Amino acid sequence: MLKFLSWNIQQGGGSRVRGIIKFIAQQKVQIVTLSEFRNNDAGQFIRQKLLELGYHFQFTSLGPSDTNSVLIASQLPCNSRLFLQSDPTYGHNVIAADFEAFHLYGVYLPHKKKHQLFPLLLEETTKNRPALIMGDYNTGKNFIDQKGDSFWYTPELAKLEKSGMQDAFRHVHGEVEAYSWYSHQGNGYRYDHIYASEELIPLIKQCDYIHSAREDKLSDHSPMFLEL
């Protein structure tokens, strides 16, 4: 079994980092993707504690200390790639970890900003190699992943699916109503996703949100758990 955790830790984790690390340790996963990771003191604490937990392979784009980016930490050997030229402003918001059997893309896509990261992901995942894209997409399908229609990039998700990538959570749970983040008004949004290429879909054993972490205020997002 291969287990993943994907989680937006809310502005780098701040004073919640000890609770975040404790939660990650309890999940006993081999690969972790953290969105809204920041290259600051809290980020260095997270990386050191993950190293102590056996996540010896760690990759991030090392953006400015006040900038949200992505960290991929793995107990399994892999190589990394950055895409800093993919977008003039948000090139640090996608990183890749290349494993022997698949390629993992960790994402923190900007919220309601114009960016060129979906074309990058489409190009990367149409190269006939098994792939996973996980993280905070800050978008979803209108009227499905929220009750309204305020998502900007619903058409881009449709293009991703047409290219052969599938929503792992929907593969397991169908059309069940589920949200990973809530506004102060109580409106739910499914911002956090894991997309898997067709070769990996038959291997999915489990894909769920762990809402207890959000309810315990470790972050304002629910982490995602994936088991292959």
Kindly report, residue by residue over 131-141, the tens digit of the pLDDT: 999 999 999 99
Kindly report, residue by residue over 200-222, the tens digit of the pLDDT: 999 999 999 999 999 999 999 99
Nearest CA to 35 among 181, 159, 168? 181
pLDDT number for residue 75? 98
Instruction: Give the global pTM.
Output: 0.97
The token pair at 133 is 């894209």
Query: Is the separation of the CB atoms in 2 and 194 below 8 Å?
Result: no
Q: What is the number of other CB atoms lying within 10 angstroms of the CB of residue 202?
A: 9
Identify the helix (H) or strand (E) that includes residue 211: helix 211-215
Residue 62 pLDDT exceeds 90: no
pLDDT number for residue 112? 94
For the residues 35-46, what does the mean pLDDT come to? 97
Residue 107 pLDDT exceeds 90: yes
Fold designation for 3-227: Deoxyribonuclease I; Chain A (3.60.10)
pLDDT number for residue 163? 95
Residue 63 pLDDT exceeds 90: no
Q: Where are the domains of the chain?
A: 3-227
Name the band, by pLDDT with cuts 50, 70 and 90, for residue 128.
Answer: confident
